[in-house]
């Protein structure tokens, strides 16, 4: 989940937004994971590093082929991390999110039964990674476990940038009002000097994911945020700092009883992974031509 905010207010009261992130519940409203901040005395938080490396960078010919996805690169960013809540001194650190300062990372939301958004996001990311790799797509993950801390939103963006990903997808489950349900896709606003270059491709990615997700999961568009399953944000560091096409998908409202039951079901999570695979493949077949 990522906390909602209005465009004009976001930039004018950046400090207030950042401070509120320290206490807000749910996706985007808890505590950050610093890539460079020292661990607290007597503890050694797990360091999250991306999978893959320079040796498996795709060749130009592989990435330019419209007939095969072998060699295409996708960055998967499962939101939050299971160890974030135990290290507020790390994840509450303020970082530059492009248009404002925000907490380095947050704990995320959870169902009334205690199923955490971080666990959901990581499970879906693993399922999706397996599917994409079976197609020959190189997958880079922003974290390899659900027991570590972070990484910080700045590093999450940097991992996709460094991999020169053809598409980057941040996976979440929103912590919205209990009476609202459904999924939505968050795309970056076009911000000169930040996202202007990637906004058009990110919009195309958002449309592919929205269409495939609705068809593949049966989830309705969110009833409480955005418009027809889409929302545009200029206050998310993971989007603002990206130099590759990137979106967030909030797969449902984890605070709603109906959505929570679905998100907690492994069979539904497999459907989510399959739907996201479909949307990514449709985007990649056009983007890598």
Sorted by where each begins, the domain ranges of the chain are: 61-85+115-287
pLDDT at 128: 98
Mean pLDDT of the 141-152 span: 98
pLDDT at 287: 83
* SS3 category, 72: coil
In the chain, what is the straight-line distance between the N-terminal and C-terminal CA atoms, in Å?
Answer: 33
Alpha helices per DSSP H over the chain: 7-12, 14-21, 60-64, 88-91, 117-134, 153-162, 199-217, 237-240, 257-263, 266-287
pLDDT range class, residue 1, cuts 50, 70, 90: confident
Mean pLDDT of the 215-232 span: 98
Rg of the chain on CA atoms, in Å = 17
Picking from 163, 130, 142, 134, the residue whose alpha carbon sits closest to that of residue 69 is: 134
**How much of the chain exceeds pLDDT 90, in percent?**
75
pLDDT at 68: 80
pLDDT at 66: 45
Residue 93 has pLDDT above 60, yes or no: yes
Q: What is the pLDDT of residues 164-204, one digit of tens each?
A: 999 999 999 999 999 999 999 999 999 999 999 999 999 99
pLDDT at 126: 98
Long-range contacts of 15-19 (CB under 8 A, 24+ apart): 15/100, 15/101, 17/100, 17/102, 17/235, 18/94, 18/100, 18/101, 18/102, 18/103
* SS3 category, 160: helix
Q: Which CATH superfamily is domain 61-85+115-287 in?
A: Zn-dependent exopeptidases (3.40.630.40)
pLDDT at 27: 59
Q: What is the pLDDT of residues 237-281, one digit of tens each?
A: 999 999 999 999 999 999 999 999 999 999 999 999 999 999 999
Whether 101 sits among the annotated catalytic residues: the reply is no
Mean pLDDT of the 123-133 span: 98
Mean pLDDT of the 98-116 span: 97
Q: What is the pLDDT of residues 21-59, one digit of tens each?
A: 333 334 544 333 333 333 333 343 443 544 433 333 333
Please, are residues 250 and 173 in contact by the beta-carbon 8 Å criterion?
yes
Picking from 78, 219, 101, the residue whose alpha carbon sits closest to that of residue 150 is: 78
The residue annotated as part of the active site, out of 250, 270, 277, 289, is 250
Residue 215 has pLDDT above 70, yes or no: yes
């Amino acid at each position: 989940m990522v906390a909602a905010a209005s465009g004009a207010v976001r930039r004018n009261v950046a400090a207030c937004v950042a401070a509120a992130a320290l206490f807000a519940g749910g996706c985007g409203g808890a505590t950050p994971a610093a890539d460079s901040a020292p661990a607290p005395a007597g503890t050694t938080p797990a360091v999250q590093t991306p999978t893959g490396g320079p040796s498996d960078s795709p060749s130009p010919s592989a990435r330019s082929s419209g007939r095969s996805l072998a060699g295409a690169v996708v960055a998967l960013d499962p939101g939050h991390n299971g160890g974030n809540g135990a290290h507020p001194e790390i994840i509450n650190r303020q970082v530059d999110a492009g248009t404002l300062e925000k907490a380095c990372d947050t704990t995320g939301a959870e169902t009334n039964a205690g199923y955490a958004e971080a666990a959901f996001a990581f499970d879906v990311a693993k399922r999706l990674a397996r599917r994409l790799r079976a197609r020959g797509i190189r997958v880079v993950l922003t974290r390899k476990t659900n027991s570590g801390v972070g990484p910080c939103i700045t590093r999450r963006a940097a991992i996709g940038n460094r991999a020169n990903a053809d598409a980057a997808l941040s996976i979440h489950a929103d912590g919205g009002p209990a009476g609202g349900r459904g999924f939505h896709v968050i795309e970056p606003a076009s911000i000169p000097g930040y996202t202007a270059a990637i906004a058009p491709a990110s919009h195309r990615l958002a449309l592919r994911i929205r269409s495939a997700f609705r068809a593949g999961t049966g989830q309705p568009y969110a009833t409480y945020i955005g418009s027809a399953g889409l929302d545009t944000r200029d206050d998310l560091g993971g989007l603002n700092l990206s130099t590759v096409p990137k979106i967030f998908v909030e797969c449902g409202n984890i605070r709603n009883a109906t959505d929570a039951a679905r998100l907690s079901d492994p069979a539904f999570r497999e459907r989510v992974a399959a739907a996201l695979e479909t949307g990514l493949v449709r985007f990649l077949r056009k983007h890598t031509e």
